[in-house]
Structure 1
C-alpha cells in the first residue's frame, strides 16, 4: 500500500504536468520543441509573443518537468525532457502528433524553420541574409 505522503507527491507531480499542458500557448511551445532545441528568441518570433510571456510559459513547463534549459553564452535554449514515465512520454507524443496536423501550427513551424536557418540570436542583424522563398 502506498503511504499518504507518497501518494500526495505523485498526485502533485501529475497535477503540475497536466496544468502545464492545459494552456494553448504551452501546447504550441511543446509542438515547436518537438522539432528540436530552440532559443527563446525563436519561440518569441514564431509565436509573436513578448520575451516575458514566453519565459513565463517556459517556466511553467520547466517546473512540470516537460522542458529543460541550457545556457550557451548569453542565450538560453530549451528542449523537451525525455520522459522516463511511459505514460507521460506517450501523452506528449500524442499531443505533438495531433497539433502537427493543424494548419495554423504547421504554418508556425514552417516560419520557424525558415527563420531558424537564416536568423539566430547569435547573428548580428547586419549579418542576416535575406529569407528566400
Structure 2
C-alpha cells in the first residue's frame, strides 16, 4: 500500500473510531456472547456476526443511525457484513484490524 493510500485509510479508521458509540460497538463485537442475546439470534455470532437489530436494541438508537454507524465501520475495514435472509449481521474483521495495528506500529 502506498504511503498516500495508507494515510487515507488511517484517516478513515480514525474518523470511524472517533465516535464513542461506534467505538463501543466495535468493542462489544469483540465478545458478542457477552454483550448480545445469542439465544435469540438466528445465526452463530462467530460465524456471521451479530444482527443489526440486536445492536440497535442495545444502543437504543434509530435503525437508520445504527446502519450509518455500521457502514462507517465497514468502510474503515473494521467490520464486515453478512446478509442472512432479510437481516444484516456484523462482525469484526480481525485480519484487517491486525494489519491496521501493524501499520500503526510502523507509521506512527
TM-score, scaled to structure 1: 0.59
> What residue number does 1:120 align with?
none
Match of 1:14 in 2: 10
Segments of 4+ moved more than 4 angstroms = 88-91
RMSD: 2.4
What are structure 1's unaligned runs of at least 5 residues? 92-133
**1:72 and 2:68 correspond:** no
Structure 2: distance between partners of 1:55 and 1:41? 10
Q: Give the structure 2 partner of residue 43 of structure 1.
A: 55
- Say which one has the larger Rg: 1
Q: TM-score, normalised to structure 2's length?
A: 0.72
Is the counterpart of residue 33 in structure 1 residue 29 in structure 2? yes
Question: Gaps (5+ residues) in structure 2?
Answer: 33-48
Residue-pair matches, total: 87
Give the secondary structure class of the aligned counterpart of 1:49: coil
Q: 1:18 to 1:86 in 2, by over 3 A?
A: closer
